[in-house]
A = this chain, B = another copy of it.
């Protein structure tokens, strides 16, 4: 591209940056109109489209000194692709809005675009369009679109007696956040997990195929997000703490910071693992591990750990 990647977005101007960015977005065969028109057009199956939108703002959702542009691109994409995964769908496309300070380097914008496109293409999705505008802080809006191959799994279908299961790792990003917030950069494994989540793509459609009754992606904290299933389904959920994996890097961070490492698993967000409920007796594949049950009795909407109300349940909530 003719764009000067040593310059700023403000120097290059909207159209030059848009051209340079969109030229990096490879379009899949399912895209009939990609970036550059008033809107994009993408194929869907089964007569429905699954759609989700998230807004991410500098210093609230990410920090430019903690994460590279590539990391932020990966994470912005992953967070939204995960929402499609959590419905049991397969993501096919992303739309991306970028609000950029004029002094942002074009190199940052291009690396952000590359991160976004790489995360999308790893699941077969294309970045089909978006918007670029000026903003005081880096502001990112992402819409993910997806198709439904095995039925939609909502939050509201959990039944008493169901088993509760988890796919993907949980607590890693929170441990990474904890060390970054204290000015450290290691253990690298958890810092990397904060910078780039690895949602268990594919486990969502798999759960749909297995007959999952409810599902959610854990973005704000395991107990809080299980609470969303419990509330939407009017059931009580009990988690067995001995089933939760507290990996070695989480124990190392807990020991170094004087924090109970299980708390990362119970209340940490940003890993985008999946929590789902399945009918009792469902034979779970290796990607899913049982972590609790939907109680036969109990306060609807409640989540307990080993039968007791946990001391700390709250995950992330904005304005709090």
Contacts and interface: CB of A to CB of B under 8 A. Distances in A.
Interface of A: 9-10, 12-15, 17, 32-33, 36-45, 47-57, 60-61, 82-84, 86-87, 89, 93, 95-99, 102, 128-137, 139, 141, 143-146, 148, 152, 154-156, 215-217, 232, 317-320
Contacts of A49: 41-42, 44, 49, 145
Contacts of A39: 50-52, 83-84, 86-87, 89, 144, 146
Contacts of A143: 51, 53, 95, 141, 143
B97 A132 contact: no
Q: What is the copy number of this chain in the assembly?
A: 2
A45 B56 CA distance: 31
B40 A95 contact: no
A55 B232 contact: no
A225 to B, nearest CB: 10
A130 B13 contact: no
* 8 smallest beta-carbon distances between A and B, as pairs: A141-B141, A55-B97, A39-B52, A38-B86, A53-B95, A14-B318, A143-B143, A38-B83
A9 B136 CA distance: 22
Contact of A54 (B44, B56, B84, B131): B131
Contacts of A41: 48-51, 87, 148, 152
Residue of A47, A96, A130, A217 with most chain B CB atoms under a 10 A cut-off? A47
27 contacts: A13-B319, A32-B152, A38-B52, A38-B87, A38-B216, A39-B51, A39-B84, A40-B51, A41-B148, A44-B44, A49-B49, A51-B145, A53-B96, A53-B129, A53-B131, A53-B143, A54-B97, A54-B131, A57-B133, A57-B139, A97-B141, A132-B318, A134-B319, A136-B136, A139-B139, A141-B141, A141-B143
B60 A14 contact: no
